[in-house]
Structure formats: structure tokens, C-alpha cells
Amino acid sequence: MIPRISLSNELIELIPLEKRDFDLLYLVASDKEIWAQHPDFNRYTPVGFTQYFKKLLNTDLPYLIIDKKTEHVIGATSFYEYNDKERSVAIGYTFLAKAYWGGTYNHSVKQLMIHTAFELVDKIIFHVREKNFRSQAALAKIGAIKEKEYTASFDADALQFEYAIYKNA
């Protein structure tokens, strides 16, 4: 299991998410444009965000993403589907405030999590919907390889992709 500790580098700090963080995170997540390419595009609404937040809290280790310069919450991410037998874990449920798109922050978050995960596992998995082109491009930048395509669990007309990075690749 991934230990429940904070992680940090020069740009960001990842702090384990708590129930009490709902309002702080919703301030960031209430921007409609953040969710425009996501199949759950209503996550900017109170009802949609509440559903997302519950799912996030139930992952193996959810995090708030903090900008170290401003000390503001700028998004969330998570380790989930930890599998000791397969020596794998997924990284996802990630979103960032628009001001942090296209720069070094997403890369910084992923690299910090990848480095931490590879201390315990050999494979890191990312799940992405077929129309989430922004996330697919970000995964390509960090060297993730698309390994599987399958029907999304909540939409028979949509595909979901599984990307992976291996420790010794």
C-alpha cells in the first residue's frame, strides 16, 4: 500500500485529502471549462462535484494539489486500484485549475507520483476517456504507452483507454 504521507517538490505539494477539504477543492472545481472534455462534465456543479469528491475520497490515496509559491489549492489527484500481487497502481482523478494547464504543473505532479509509486510497484496505470485529448497528450509527454481500449463502464457508446508506464522501461 502507498503510505499516507504528503509529497512535495519545488513546485507543488500533495497533501492527503480529507472530507473537510470539500469547500477548498470545490472553489477550484467549479470552473465549467475544467470538465468540458470529461464525460462527467457536470462536475462543476455542486451535485456533480459532490459525486466526484465521494469517488475521490474512496480511492487508495487522494491528494490536494497545492502550489508551493501561493500556498493555494490548485486541484486534486489520486493513487487508486493498488494491486500488491500485480505490483501496480493507477494514478488519476486528476484535475488542475485552468491557470495551471499547459505548463509544468501537471508534469510535476505526475513525476512526483511516478517516482513515489516506483518505490513500491513496477507498473503505473492511467485511465483516460477517448475524447479527453488533453489528458492523452499529457500522458504521451511523460512516455505512457496505450495498452488497452475497452467500453467505458457508464457509457456503452464510449471507449476508455488504459495507458501504462513500467519501472524498468
> Got the DSSP string for 56-104?
HHTSSEEEEEEETTTTEEEEEEEEEEEETTTTEEEEEEEEE-GGGTTSS
pLDDT the model gives residue 135: 80
pLDDT given for residue 1 in this prediction:
73
pLDDT in tens, 41-60: 889 999 999 999 999 999 99
Backbone phi, psi, residue 101, to 5°: -75, 150
Residues counted in the chain? 169
Fold of 7-122: Aminopeptidase (3.40.630)
**Has residue 23 got a pLDDT over 70?**
yes
Q: Is 10 helix (H, G, I), strand (E, B) or coil?
A: coil
Do 34 and 98 meet the contact criterion of CB atoms below 8 Å apart?
yes
Distance CA 30, CA 107 (A): 23
Q: What is the pLDDT of residues 107-160, one digit of tens each?
A: 899 999 999 999 999 999 998 888 778 788 888 888 899 988 877 666 556 677
- Provide the pLDDT for residue 157: 61
Q: What is the pTM of this model?
A: 0.89
Sequence-ordered strand ranges (E) for the chain: 7-8, 12-16, 61-67, 72-83, 88-96, 123-129, 145-152, 155-166
CA–CA distance, 73 with 41 (Å, rounded to integer): 21
pLDDT in tens, 58-112: 999 999 999 999 999 999 999 999 999 999 999 999 999 999 988 799 889 999 9
